[in-house]
Amino acid sequence: MEQQLDFLVDKVVAELQKKLGEATEPAPSPKAETGTGLIQLRSEPKAEPVSSATTAPTQAPAVNEHLAPSAEPERTSHVPNPKYKEGLDELLSSTPARIGVWRAGVRPLTKTMLELRRDHAAAVDAVYGEVSQAVLDQFSLFTVETQYDNTENYLKRPDMGRILTDEGVRLLQERCQKKPQVQIVVSDGLSAAAVDANLKDVLPSLMDSLKSYGLTCGTPFFVQGGRVASMDHVGEILEPEVLVLLIGERPGLVTAHSMSAYMCYRPRKGMVESERTVISNIHRQGTSPVEAGAHIGTILSKMLEQKASGVKLVL
């Protein structure tokens, strides 16, 4: 059996050498390659590659390219000869969702799988990551914590992300202005990456908007491990007229950088969700962070004029 295998290997090597015309390379001795011929066929760098092997060098850069994070999701169909191409192009231009990705047999294309794994890894990093201290320092935001304790507990016990720790309450009472007209609160929520990516654009724009409407702002701060309803506890402590919470949203597979702005008039414990107003999907491929900051200021001014928020607010 072994002799037959050696004979076949030697025959294949001889045929390849004959076809490729390696005049400059000395023909390897069939006897000397006995037993290692298959390995040399796969790894010999000087051998002229056959047509199927020429794709290997061009595939490696493509894999690295798709593993790298992209700023803009691809909007290209891979469906061969679609029956309604115009309709498919219209769908692709209207959403960054994964449509028209096609398949290889019953499985997704390798490219699609790599992009899914990349975006899933970014989502996990966003949930378990921490907001950059440099970003908080840039806006002089001090940190208070909720009773979440750790990320695993935060995911399992949303109620613990709604209440500040005793130390957090003490810090707010010592360092924050009481009964401000507008209170700004920032929280990591479910995506620390969203705060890192958007706060530097949203917050300056919001402050400019408040100034243009003649509104005054209290002492902004950062809540680590905060849920949306943490604004109710903050409202009980500082008693602002209106409060806006800039919080990282649950990451998806399109982006992990989505931020939301939840706003309410006279926040307090026991508020129902219909009393909150929200601007969601704030990121580079969604609502522009700069435009969102300006729009938040407009909505807050209307809340103060109408003394209402949520479904009672007329926009």
pLDDT tens string 139-165: 999 999 999 999 999 999 999 999 999
Quote the domain boundaries for residue 292.
133-312
Residue 17 has pLDDT above 90, yes or no: no
- The reply to whether 50 falls in a domain is no
| pLDDT value of position 98 | 86
| Mean pLDDT of all residues in 93-115 | 89
Number of domains in the chain: 1
| pLDDT value of position 252 | 87
Of the candidates 201, 43, 208, the residue with the CA atom closest to the CA atom of residue 135 = 201
| pLDDT value of position 161 | 96
CA 138/CA 143 separation, integer angstroms: 13
| pLDDT value of position 224 | 97
Mean residue pLDDT across the chain: 83
- CATH number for the domain including 205? 3.40.50.11240
| pLDDT value of position 144 | 98
- The reply to whether 88 falls in a domain is no
| Mean pLDDT of all residues in 202-213 | 97
- The reply to whether 47 falls in a domain is no
pLDDT digits (tens, 9 = 90+) for 261-313: 999 999 999 999 999 999 999 998 889 999 999 999 999 999 999 999 999 99
CA 219/CA 201 separation, integer angstroms: 19
Residues within the annotated binding site?
A: 228, 249
Residues within the annotated binding site for adenosylcob(III)alamin?
A: 228, 249
- The reply to whether 194 falls in a domain is yes
- The reply to whether 31 falls in a domain is no
Residue 170 has pLDDT above 60, yes or no: yes
65's CB contacts (< 8 A; 6+ apart) are none
Evaluate whether 267 touches 202 at the Cβ level (below 8 Å): no
Highest mean pLDDT among 64-73, 90-99, 184-193: 184-193
H or E element at residue 65 = helix 55-67
- The reply to whether 35 falls in a domain is no
| pLDDT value of position 20 | 54
- The reply to whether 249 falls in a domain is yes
| pLDDT value of position 33 | 41
| pLDDT value of position 143 | 97
| pLDDT value of position 1 | 52
Q: Looking at the DSSP assignment, which residues form a beta bridge with residue 265? A: 242
pLDDT digits (tens, 9 = 90+) for 22-56: 544 444 444 434 333 333 333 334 444 433 333 33
| pLDDT value of position 16 | 54
Residue 61 has pLDDT above 80, yes or no: no
Residue 83 has pLDDT above 70, yes or no: yes
| pLDDT value of position 19 | 62
Query: Would the pTM count as exceeding 0.75?
Result: no
- The reply to whether 198 falls in a domain is yes
